[in-house]
Structures are given as structure tokens and as C-alpha cells.
Amino acid sequence: MAWIICGTGLAILGGSFGNQNFISKNSLGKIYQILTRSQSLDFQKFFLGEGIADRQKLLFYALIFIGAIIFLNLATILINLELKLQDWHIENNKYYIYNSLIFFLNTLTRIASYIVLVLCLVSIQTLIWISLFLIFYTWFSSKNLIEPNTENFFIWQDPIIRKILLFSSLIIFILPFLHARLEGIKQAIANETNAGSLSKIQQLIQGLFNSSPSFKAVWEVILNASSFAHWIILFWFIRTVIFNRIGEYNDFWFEVNKIGKKAINFKHFYYYKNLLNEVELTGKKNDLSPQSKKVIVLGDVFLQITPSFLKKEYLENEITKVNHQESFYDFNAKLKKIIEFIDFVQERLNRARKSDYWQKKVNFTIFDLFNEYQNFADLEKTKKLILERLDF
């Protein structure tokens, strides 16, 4: 609905309903001419579109990309709902974002939103409209009205959005002043035949202009700069976001796939801890193996590989409970329960470890256990859903 409102506003400003007052009005032109004292500079060239027809065509393309965003959003929501019906994870886990298909669709949505933002740079009116929509959509996205978890895009917190607005604003609001100043210097140099009548700065620029081809080339680029710079910015940041998204996706699943090693280390520390406890109870201090002795030194490491919710619970209880021995046994029982859950997930989903597809699901479930679970209720719920929805 929000994007439909955005598209409707752009259609009105673009004259799609017959009213071309907004698209044809050059609101900043006279202001720029007064500030820069230049009557010949065409300030519209720092926006996109060379004429009314060209600007309307660009806004029409923006409406097409808004339609694509709406379609991609609906597709993502429907896929998420389908995943939720088949899911055994806790609600709003990261699988709703880092599923390969959903992640790809969200990447396309991000790119489409950047294109819409740039296509709206046809006039000051459309720039103000898309900026107001950005503020509204940022607020709307913060409400988390969509379940299950979805990825936010076209929000002020997105650094690419901020950079596109920053660089485009420099082109629209700052470059005309630089352009007018340099054009004035160039005209003054061309009109003065006597070098002695030129200022020192103008003489310096004249010397550089005549002696340095590279300086002359940069000078001409600035003087001929126009709205084409907006496209360069867009293509650069599309390239950036593609590489960033590929890296983000690969990094996440790298962390997920190495969770098996963390689970194995967790089991080893648990068994070493039990061995140490048995030795202490029997009083046979000389029976300690070198591996068991490491438990005393590596207690902090043990807590680092413990699920987040249990580590927090244990550290809080350790301070409040008077009976530390009772706290230790209670903690030990919970460790055993977690290990049983890890074994259950592996045995239930991929007992033979021959399926890469199911092993990926095993790894993600264990990753959720260590990083996303808030309590043992999440563990029990996941176990129950696995038994109900994976009846094989």
C-alpha cells in the first residue's frame, strides 16, 4: 500500500493525469541564477531529463520499478508464509532472510529501490516527494507489522540510500555554483588579452590551463558535468551492493556451517567437566588426565561456546544463589538437555550425514540454538515441531 501511494504521487507530479504544471516548473532556476549571477546556465541539466517528455518517460520507468518492488515484496511474503507453515524453528529466525531465494529477491528489491530513488531526480518536486516517502517508509518499517520476519529496505539506516542522496544533492545543489564560478573564470581569461589585468588566481589557472592537458581535461569535465553523474553514482552503488550482499550471504552461511565444530567442542567440554566432577567426588586427584585439567583453565572458553540464553541464566544464578553446588548440578542437567537436543536434531534430520541439503538444515537449527534461542521453551517447541512436521 505504501508503494502504491508513492507511485500515485509520482504520477501526479509527472503529469500522467494531464496536469503538467509540476513537471514543467523550474522552481530552483531563478533562485540559482540570482545566487550565481549567471543568466545563461541551464540548471535543469543537473537534474535528470532534458525536457518534459524525457522527464515523464523517466518517471514512467520509476513507476515500472515500483510495480516490480510491489511484486517482489508480495512474492517474498508469500514464500515466507509457506516457510512458516513448514517451519520448525522459532518465530522470526534468520532463515526467513537468509534463505537463498528470499535473499536473492530482497537483493533485487534493494536494487530496484535505488533505481526508483535516482529516477525521481527529475525535478525538485519529485526529489522532495521521494524524500518525504523515505522518511515515512523508515517509520513504517520500524513498526514490524509484517510477520514472519522480513528484511527492511529503502530506509534511512541503509548507508547506500544515504550516500546516493548525499552525492546527488551535491550534484544538484553545489555543482551549479562551482560550474558557474569556473565558467566565469574561463570567460574572464578568454576576454582579457592583457595578462597583467588578470588576478593572480586567474593567471595561475591560465598557466595550468595552457601547460597541463590533465588540468584542462578535468576543467572541461566539470564544465560539462550534468545529470549523467547521477547514473554513474547509481551504477557504482549497484555494483557495491551486489558485492556486499554476496559477501553477507556467504559470511552468514559460513558461520552456520561451522557450528558443528562448536557443538562438538561443547560436548567435549561437558564430558571433561563431568569427569573432573567425578574425580573430585571420589577424591582421586591423581587420576586427572591432562585433558581434564584443562577444564580448570578453560572455564571461560567453556562459557563462550555455551548457548547464549543458558550462559546468561547461569551467570545470573551464580550471583544470586547461595547453594553453589545445587547451582552446578542444575547447570549440568541443562547442559545434558542441550546435548540431547543436538543429537536429536542430527539423528532426526540427517542420521547418515549423506544429504548436504538436510545437513544445512541441521546446522541452521543448531545455530539457532546457540545464538537465537531465548529459553528452553524455544528448544522444546522446536523439538515438538520437528516431530509433528517431519514424520519420517
Three-state DSSP class for residue 227: coil
Is the sign of the CA dihedral 160, 161, 166, 169 positive or negative?
A: positive
Most confident of 295-299, 321-325, 345-349: 345-349
Least confident residue range of 75-89, 121-135, 207-221, 327-341: 207-221
Rounded to 5 degrees, φ, ψ at 89 are -85, 170
In this structure, are residues 234 and 164 in contact, taking their beta carbons and an 8 Å threshold? yes
Provide the sign of the torsion angle of the four alpha carbons 147, 135, 110, 371, taken in this order: negative
CB 207 within 8 A of CB 82: no
Cell 545566487 belongs to residue: 35
The answer, yes or no, to whether residue 156 has pLDDT greater than 50, is yes
Q: How is the chain split into domains, by residue range?
A: 2-256, 258-389
CA–CA separation, 267 and 277 (whole Å): 15
Contact 185, 262 (CB under 8 A): no
CA 370, CA 306: separation in Å to the nearest integer?
7
Task: Name the band, by pLDDT with cuts 50, 70 and 90, for residue 293.
Answer: very low
Cell numbers 512436521 correspond to: 389
Chain segment 349-392, per-residue pLDDT in tens:
887 777 888 888 888 888 888 888 888 888 888 888 888 877 65
Residue 175 pLDDT: 73
Comparing 196 with 218, the larger pLDDT belongs to 218
Mean pLDDT of 341-347: 89
Question: Which of the pair, 202 or 270, is modelled with greater confidence?
Answer: 270
Mean pLDDT in residue range 95-116: 90
How large is the average pLDDT for residues 270-278?
66
Whether 375 and 316 have beta carbons less than 8 Å apart is answered as no
- The string of DSSP codes covering 324-363 is HHHHHHHHHHHHHHHHHHHHHHHHHHHTTS--HHHHHHHH
| Between 384 and 143, residue with greater pLDDT | 384
**CA angle, 351 as apex, 346 and 356 as ends, to 5°?**
80
Q: CA 302 to CA 24: how far, in whole Å?
A: 68
- Under DSSP, the state recorded for 225 is -
Signed CA dihedral, 33, 36, 39, 45: sign only: negative
**To 10 degrees, the CA torsion angle through 324, 326, 328, 332?**
-170
